[in-house]
Every structure is written in structure tokens, then in C-alpha cells.
Amino acid sequence: MHIAVILKQVPDLVEEVEVDASGAGIDRDSVKWKLNEFDDHALEQAVLIKESTGGEVTALALDGDGVDQLLYAALARGADRALKVPTSDERTDAPRIAAALAPVLREMAPDLVLTGVQAADDLHGQLGPILATSLDWPHVSVVSGVEVSGAAVQVQQEYSGGRMATLEVQLPAVLGVQAATRPPRYVPISRLRQIMASAQIGEAAAAGEAAALGSTVTRLAPPAQGAGAQMWEGKPEEIAQQLLDVLRERGLLGA
């Protein structure tokens, strides 16, 4: 089984994210990047499948700053090959990523494509569905746990209210992973360094495909500050009384 995992960097929120001069994007120079948490789970799920049923894992990412580091880490985690896909567009929303990756995946013809169910800049989780549509493959989102059975995979899909469904998906397919069967593993730095010294990152030929119509950001701004919290002071009994009053006032307690 050949599994392709799509990885993407997102801004690391330990640093304050700032709006750039255009007013429609974030200031990319002041931002630290890290692997999208859900992609991390997708990668882990791919490696777990490989470990339990054999096969190979190819990690893919759009080219850009820090992508080598990202792909080396994927190799250290257990991916067999790493491939960066050139892009001329700085904007990396889901339709554009899908447009850049679809021809590469069509040629690669993996059995399974895994990606994170969503990302900080793709909260709607569009990458999986758009990519599956371009490839004309089945797609399932919000997947936690994937098991191979013959020419299909069984996946767990989570619904609200704590319900889970087990679905069988014919291969090839695209899955949006929410959580791997096990939390992503730790990669010792020594292994990462060995990989960086020895492994190669491949580069896909630029294929370019017109992006499906996406949305365009016209303005980006930090959320407006609310009125703020009201701080209560005094003895515990007084505070408790105040709390009770507020709850009653808002009809949150019975008469």
C-alpha cells in the first residue's frame, strides 16, 4: 500500500501574529512556522498503517521556507520518501494547494491520501474534499483511526454528540484525519540529524493546474476587544452572593 501524506506549515501561535502592510494577510517575516497539528496526526496514522500492514509512505508539501525541515522531520518519523511541490503562488489556501497537488498525486497514483482534517488557515477543512473532487476519488473527513481491509479501508468518523460511525471506503481515497489511532510519536533529535545528513528530498515537476474558484481575503484584523471582564472583590460570601444574583438575573437559575 502506498500512502501519500500532505503536510502543511501553519503560523505558530506562541508568537503574536501581525497583519502585514497590505491589510489582507499576516506578516510572514515575524511569524514562526510549525507543522499543522492535524497533519501531524495524518502522518502518524500513515506510519502506523505502514507498520501494521506494510507499504510505503510519501510525505508531500508545497515548497516554501522551512519546508525542508518539515519533510526531514517526516522522514525521521517513518516516511519513506519526501517530495516538495513547487508553487508560484504565495497564497496557500485549500483550493490552491489542491490545484498544485492534484496533478502530482494523479501521476503518483497512491492507494490512499491522508491529510489533516483542517488547519488554522483552513478551518472549514476544504483541502480534502477539493482534492478528492479533482481526483474523482471518494473522501471522508473527521477521521480518527484507519484500518486496512483488502482493497478498502475502514475508518472511524466522529459526529457531534459523541457518536461514531465506521465507514468502509474503496481505494484510492482521500481522508481528512482528525486524530491518529495513537498520539504522534517523538522523534529524537539524533535521528533527525542523521536523516538530515543522509536523506534526500525529492522535487516534483511543476504541473500547474487552474485553481478552483476560492475565496479572496480582502481584510484581516485582530478581533475587536470586548468590554472586558468584570472583576469582583470582597469576601467569599459576598462574591458568592454576587454570582448568584447575576445567574438569577440572567434566568440561568430557577426562581
Partner 1 sequence: MAPTGIALLALMVATFAWSGYRFSRLLRPLTKGAAENRFDQPLRRAWGVVTNVGGHTRLLQIRYSGILHLMIFSGFVVLLTAVVQEFGKGLVPGFSLALIGGNNWIALLQDIFDVLVLVGLAMAAYNRYVRRPARFQGSNERDATIILALIFLVVASMLLHNSFRVAEGHDPSAAWRPVSSALAGLVGLVGVHGAKAAPYSHVFYWTHVLAILAFLAYIPTSKHLHVFVGIPNIYFRDLAPRGTLPAADLSQPSVGLKQIYQMGWKQMLDLYACTECGRCQAVCPAFAAGQPLSPKLLIMDLRDHLLEQEGIGSHRKGVGGVQLLGDAIKDDTLWACTTCRACMQVCPLHIEHVPKIVDMRRQLVEQGRMEPRLQDTLASLAQYGNSFNQSERMRSKWTKELGFTIKDARKEPVDVLWFVGDFASYDPRVQRLTQTVARVMNRAGVDFGILYEGERNSGNDVRRVGEEGLFEMLAQHNIETLAKCDFRRIMTTDPHSLNAIGQEYPRLGGNYPVLHYTQLLLELLEKGALKPTRGQEMVATYHDPCYLGRYNNGFEAPRRIMELLGVRVHEMPRCRENSFCCGAGGGRIWMDDRGVKERPSENRIREAVSLGDAGYFVVACPKDVVMYTAAVQSTGMEGRIQVMDVIELVEAALEPEVAAVAVA
Write a three-state SS string for 78-142.
CCCEEEEECCCCCCCCHHHHHHHHHHHHHHHCCCEEEEECCECCECCCCHHHHHHHHHCCCEEEE
Q: Does 190 bind partner 1 (CB under 8 A)?
A: yes
Which of 32, 66, 107, 166 contacts partner 1 by CB under 8 A?
32
| Cα–Cα distance measured from residue 153 to residue 146, given in angstroms and rounded to the nearest whole number | 7
Instruction: Find the binder of partner 1 among 189, 224, 227, 255 (CB under 8 A).
Output: 189
Which of 118, 125, 164 shows the shortest CA–CA distance to 145?
164
Annotate each residue in 67-106 with x if it binds partner 1 (CB under 8 A) or - if it does not, as one string.
----------------------------------------
DSSP H helix total and E strand total for the chain: 6, 11
Between helices 94-108 and 127-135, what is the axis angle to 10°?
A: 40
d(CA 31, CA 11): 6
Q: Which is nearer to partner 1, 16 or 136 (CB)?
A: 16
Give the residue carrying C-alpha cell 489542491: 98
Distance between CA atoms of residues 50 and 59, nearest Å: 13
Residue 248 sits in the site that holds partner 1 (CB under 8 A): no
**Minimum CB distance to partner 1 smaller for 198 or for 218:** 198
Choose which of 25, 52, 109, 193 interacts with partner 1 (CB under 8 A).
Answer: 193
Q: How far apart are the first and last CA of the chain?
A: 63
Q: β-pairing, 33-35 with 9-11? A: antiparallel
11 binds partner 1 (CB under 8 A): no
In angstroms, give the least distance from the CB of 120 to partner 1: 16
Q: Which stretch binds partner 1 (CB under 8 A): 11-19, 89-97, 152-160, 205-213?
A: 11-19
| Of the candidate residues 1, 24, 192, 212, the single one contacting partner 1 (CB under 8 A) | 192
Residue selected from 54, 186, 216, 226 as contacting partner 1 according to rule CB under 8 A = 186
Query: What mask, x for binding partner 1 by CB under 8 A, covers residues 136 to 175?
Result: ----------------------------------------
Q: Which residues bind partner 1 (CB under 8 A)?
A: 12, 14-15, 32, 34, 183, 185-194
